[in-house]
Amino acid sequence: MKELVIRKGRVEDLDGIAALEQVCFASPWSRESLCRDMTENQMAEYFVAEFDNEVVGYLGIWLVSEEGYINNVAVSPFHRRQHVGSALIETMLEVTQEEGAGAHTLEVRASNEAAKGLYKKFGFNEAALRKGYYEDNGEDAIIMWRY
Ligand SMILES: CC(C)(COP(=O)(O)OP(=O)(O)OC[C@H]1O[C@@H](n2cnc3c(N)ncnc32)[C@H](O)[C@@H]1OP(=O)(O)O)[C@@H](O)C(=O)NCCC(=O)NCCS
């Protein structure tokens, strides 16, 4: 039976994660940047969502002195609205809270209703606005926190 598995990401997942970056973001992280982050950054943790041996979603976070900075959450366009993003956030919160994170934060494009909906579902609140933060289109960033 095919079932969704959420687990920690590893170097072997880099191709799948880099492919998701390309299809999900206007300014994707390169495979090299992802590789460096995963292998050299002691603060970085990755979670992947795997379905039928395929990486269909991932989440990257930095854990810095009891705070979790979520860098990226992405789900393959073919697997959206099936609670894959929710499963990634839920597992990440459980694991990183056990590891000592007392608060989590992220920034999201003001127009990204899907992502804002996902984060609000898990108790993130809008805390601040960074005007014109995104260089590609001058869009504002909303800073969200969850305590
Ligand atoms: C944001 C993203 C990760 C959501 O993943 P997903 O697996 O589709 O999300 P889920 O199915 O778990 O949805 C969780 C909640 O988010 C909200 N949501 C998700 N997609 C939505 C949409 N298109 N419109 C409005 N709300 C949406 C809903 O509140 C949903 O709760 P519900 O299913 O109980 O109604 C996905 O749309 C994505 O990869 N987007 C492109 C990359 C991106 O923008 N990442 C975020 C960067 S900050």
* 73 Cβ inside 6 Å of ligand 1: yes
For residue 120, give the ligand 1 atom closest to its CA. 29
Mean pLDDT to the nearest integer, 101-130? 98
Give the list of residues 6+ apart from residue 85 with CB closer than 8 angstroms, or none. 57, 73, 75, 118
Say which amino acid occupies 98: E
* 143 Cβ inside 6 Å of ligand 1: no
Greater confidence, 125 or 53? 125
Confidence at 1, pLDDT banded by 50, 70, 90? low
145 vs 36: CA distance, rounded Å: 26
Distances (CA, A) of 52 to 4, 17, 23, 70, 79: 8, 15, 20, 26, 12
For ligand 1, mutation pick of 58, 75, 91, 116 (most atoms within 8 Å of CB): 75
pLDDT at residue 109 in the model: 97
Burial class (CB in 10 A: 0-12, 13-18, 19+), 9: buried
* 101 Cβ inside 6 Å of ligand 1: no
Whole-prediction pTM:
0.97
% of the chain with per-residue pLDDT over 70: 99
